[in-house]
Structure 1
Amino acid sequence: MEKTAIVILNYNGEKYLRQFLPSVITHSTNCRVIVADNCSTDNSIEYVNQHHPTVEIIKLSINGGYSLGYNEALRQVDAQYYVLLNSDVEVTGNWVAPVIDMMESDPAIAAAQPKILSFHQKNEFEYAGAAGGFIDTLGYPFCRGRIFNTLEKDSGQYNDIKQIFWATGACLFIRADIFHKMEGFDPDFFAHMEEIDLCWRINSAGYKVMYNGNSTVYHVGGGTLHKSNPRKTYLNFRNGLSLIYKNYSTLELYVKMPLRIMLDAIASVKFMFFDTFADGAAVIKAHFDFLRDLKRNYKKRRAAQQKKIRQAETIYRGSIVLEYFIKGKRKFKALNMCRTNQ
């Protein structure tokens, strides 16, 4: 068994493989590098075979998105640690060792991420993950270095090691045995927020999720769906409802779900009148489809609740919507992060 396997899920990403795969190979000594292809129709596989013959290739039979794609690929990878890496990520020297060493030092650490900076603005945090993820009391995600669409400059303020709530799927380090014990990603999520759901289950099972600022990567972001794409809006809102429905306690669900639905309705109206009608419609469709799939989600909720051994830590007990839109708190340091379940 290899210690660390870097697995890049690829769909029509020849452009990014040409641009970023060489840096992964150069800076990832003593690691297996694997491209799991999600039924690409471009020349991705031909490019890898021709130019990087040491890179292993897993050909998936169907395109089930990020969630099912990684579930299927990782069943075929025998390693102690997986690194799930987006194809549009540029890695740097010594990016693997600090995170793996940290995980080796504490068997309770199940998952982790490095510092995620923007490829195009290298002194700025990137939207997907930044310096580690959290959620608020109503299940809205945010990050150290990124709250909603406000991104912080990197001035070394997060050059630390910190327990977080969720680690980004753009560059996710995870123990292989824990990934399989948690039964991987929820395939119904397809893409977006599936890593938050997995990390919530990891937290509830008594493990820790960490951030290590001694490792840095640069993420292009939006390689498959740009954050302004209505399809991404739909997935984020639908999956956000599934996320909290599965993982809230019964009391939390009764108290908080109505508030979440109300805030989502306000977001829909805001999208329609101040952004795009398509995004507002996407929020409405997300809610209808969540209700349509309620029976299937209920089975998942029962399974998640039965496996829970503790309330998840590092959930922010305030409302990030209130803090950001009403109180004008745009940076992570302005939040009172003592208000967590720790």
Structure 2
Amino acid sequence: MKNCAVVILNYNGEGMLSQFLPSVIEHSNSDVWVIDNASQDGSIALLEREFPTVPLIKLQENFGYAGGYNWGLESLKGKYQYYILLNSDVEVLPNWDQVLISSLESDDDLAAVQPKILSFQNPRLFDYAGAGGGFLDDFYYPYCRGRIWNVIEEDHGQYDDFAFVDWASGACMAIKADLFHQADGFDAHFFAHMEEIDLCVRFRQMGYKIGYTGQSRVHHFGGATLARSSPRKLFLNIKNSLSMIYKAETSGKFWWIFIIKLLTEWLAAIGYYVKGQGKYGSAIFRAYKEFWKGKSLQGRSYKGKEFIRIGPSRWIYWDFIILRKRTFEKL
């Protein structure tokens, strides 16, 4: 038994597993596990036929990213010192996991760390999901070194360093197992999207740090489970972002942020209707409705520990749209 488990959460990912799991097995110095979220395709048959040495945890229904990992990792509780949570559509390179684990071992206060995440389709470019490490602006909008909104940078080695960040990408993140369980894992209300950012915010409020290392690299296919630009993803991102802020901030700070986000995002919703993209506009309005209906059920985890962002105060929307700062180095 090794001290780290690479854990892949799968849902109807037969094609992704067939393409990418061989690289994970070949290049990992850790145990490799698959959690299956009640797939309806041939994933189970593929795993049992082609990868019989990979342990499989079968869940009885699709609990989403958050619930799937929570239930699956409960089965591994106490067996490993570290988890590496890895999407099924990620190609890994030699020593990728060793570098991540070494980073965690080198700092007692480091809760999680991500690698450099590049595009599988074009490895010269950073990937949308995490890129060179994630940050949050004053209104909890995420952005990355290497990716701001939809502008993707080329990789010229500019982020080959180690850096402390606000959040690590759920596409590939190494995490200390005891801290994951101590924090009660992901918020299962989220189902999918923003859950890794929410967890990192809670880690930061617990007094721990989040890291990025450019010495570990992976290639992410992206959009294998849910298209990058879809009404469903927009709905989940906005609803879950509101829930994260509601839990993380005091009442006064939350309402200030809420009003700014409401004005900005409802204007965006109207813009979608004007452009004939009503499904996206409806997704925004529905996200606010669902948040409002469920916020009292989710509780508030804020216990007086302020979330301190890495870097200066900013509103990334203003930087990007008004000041036209489209890359991280220009911020």
Instruction: State the TM-score, normalizing by the size of structure 2.
Output: 0.97
Distance 1:111 1:212 in 2: 11
Residue 312 (str. 1) matches residue 311 (str. 2): no
CA contact (8 A) 1:4 1:79 kept: yes
Change (3 A) 1:113 1:275: farther
Q: In structure 2, the residue corresponding to 1:258 is in which secondary structure?
A: helix
> How far did residue 313 of structure 1 move?
3.5
Residues 65-93 of structure 1: per-residue CA shift (max 9 Å, x gap): 00000000000112100000000000011
CA contact (8 A) 1:122 1:218 kept: yes
Q: Point out the more displaced range, 188-197 or 264-273.
A: 264-273
Task: Give the equivalent residue in structure 1 for 2:65.
Answer: 66
> How far did residue 275 of structure 1 move?
6.6
Task: Give the equivalent residue in structure 2 for 1:271.
Answer: 272
Task: Give the equivalent residue in structure 2 for 1:145.
Answer: 146
Task: Give the equivalent residue in structure 2 for 1:291.
Answer: 292
Distance 1:322 1:275 in 2: 25
Residues 260-308 of structure 1: per-residue CA shift (max 9 Å, x gap): 11111122122222372111110000001111112113x2x1xx113x5
Residues 36-56 of structure 1: per-residue CA shift (max 9 Å, x gap): 000011111111111112100
CA contact (8 A) 1:135 1:315 kept: no
Q: Point out the more displaced range, 274-283 or 31-40.
A: 274-283
Residue 56 (str. 1) matches residue 49 (str. 2): no
Residues 12-65 of structure 1: per-residue CA shift (max 9 Å, x gap): 101011100000000002x11001000011111111111112100000122110
The amino acid of 2:9's aligned partner reads: L
CA contact (8 A) 1:137 1:315 kept: no
Residue 119 (str. 1) matches residue 120 (str. 2): yes
CA contact (8 A) 1:134 1:316 kept: no
Distance 1:116 1:230 in 2: 25
> How far did residue 316 of structure 1 move?
4.8
CA contact (8 A) 1:134 1:143 kept: yes
Instruction: State the TM-score, normalizing by the size of structure 1.
Output: 0.94
Q: Point out the more displaced range, 208-217 or 287-296.
A: 287-296
| Residue 331 of structure 1, aligned match among 314, 327, 331 | 327
Q: In structure 2, the residue corresponding to 1:293 is in which secondary structure?
A: helix
Identity among equivalent pairs (%): 46
Change (3 A) 1:326 1:22: same
How many residues are paired up?
329
Distance 1:192 1:57 in 2: 24
> RMSD over aligned Cα, in angstroms?
1.2
Q: In structure 1, the residue corresponding to 2:4 is in which secondary structure?
A: strand
> Equivalent residues in 2 for 1:116-265 (5 A)?
116-265=117-266
CA contact (8 A) 1:165 1:315 kept: no
Distance 1:331 1:21 in 2: 33
Task: Give the equivalent residue in structure 2 for 1:12.
Answer: 12
Give the 4+ runs in structure 1 shifted more than 4 A.
none
CA contact (8 A) 1:118 1:124 kept: yes
The amino acid of 2:22's aligned partner reads: P
The amino acid of 2:2's aligned partner reads: E
Change (3 A) 1:275 1:71: farther
Change (3 A) 1:322 1:117: same
> How far did residue 314 of structure 1 move?
1.5
CA contact (8 A) 1:135 1:316 kept: no
Distance 1:16 1:258 in 2: 41
Distance 2:226 2:143 in 1: 19
Q: In structure 1, the residue corresponding to 2:261 is in which secondary structure?
A: helix
Change (3 A) 1:275 1:164: farther
CA contact (8 A) 1:112 1:211 kept: yes
Distance 1:230 1:72 in 2: 27
The amino acid of 1:92's aligned partner reads: L
The amino acid of 1:56's aligned partner reads: P
> How far did residue 312 of structure 1 move?
3.0
